[in-house]
Amino acid sequence: MQINDWAIGLVAFSFAAFYATFTEYVMHRAMHAGLVWHDLHARHHQDGTGKGWYEEFMNYFLPSIPFLWVGFLYSIPAGIGFATGGTLATVWAAYAHQVQHERPELVFWLPQPVHHLHHKHKMYKHNFGIAVDFWDRVFGTYKAVEWHPEKKPSEYPLISFFQIQWFRRKGEACRPRA
């Protein structure tokens, strides 16, 4: 591969990851507007829990499969970059969703764990982002509220960031840790 191929792959990777955050935001708003999966999402709000990282990942990844090949229309490096960026974005979104339900104090990449606050304060018209709050800010749906965790994320041992429910046992809800 030449340097130009790497650059094309990196641009495609970045675009796919960025676009995935937009899709996540739009789909979450669509659920609240009753356009898609409204009943399923309403149950999610009643439960207030995640499904475990793997099930969240599959919920994001499977619908993205028809789009992950689009980069190959341009070139093989673009296709590899786009597919990788889109896939890793779903990996990150699943983690962000699960950690905000179980361990919101560990959300180090955002000023506030917006998805956690979306649930906690019943913000049905605000804070639709999960992995990022960027689109909420762009579209005016961001709402800051009081958030004072006991400790900063940097004060937790590294292992804490991996102590989420990765898989849900059949019939078991994923409850936030005490």
pLDDT digits (tens, 9 = 90+) for 99-134: 999 999 999 999 999 999 999 998 889 999 999 999
d(C-alpha 9, C-alpha 69), whole Å: 13
Q: Is 175 within a domain?
A: no
Q: Is 68 within a domain?
A: yes
Reading the block at residue 33, the tokens are: 């507007």
Q: Is 99 within a domain?
A: yes
Q: Is 174 within a domain?
A: no
Q: Is 83 within a domain?
A: yes
- Looking at residue 27, what is its pLDDT? 93
Burial of 30 (0-12, 13-18, 19+ CB in 10 A): middle
pLDDT reading at 11 higher than 90: yes
Q: Which of 107, 65, 104 is nearest to 86 (CA)?
A: 65
- Looking at residue 50, what is its pLDDT? 82
Domain that holds residue 9: 3-162
Structurally, the chain folds into a number of domains equal to 1
d(C-alpha 107, C-alpha 114), whole Å: 9
Mean per-residue pLDDT for 72-81? 96
Average predicted confidence (pLDDT) for the chain: 90
0.85 exceeded by pTM = yes
Q: Is 177 within a domain?
A: no
Q: Is 61 within a domain?
A: yes
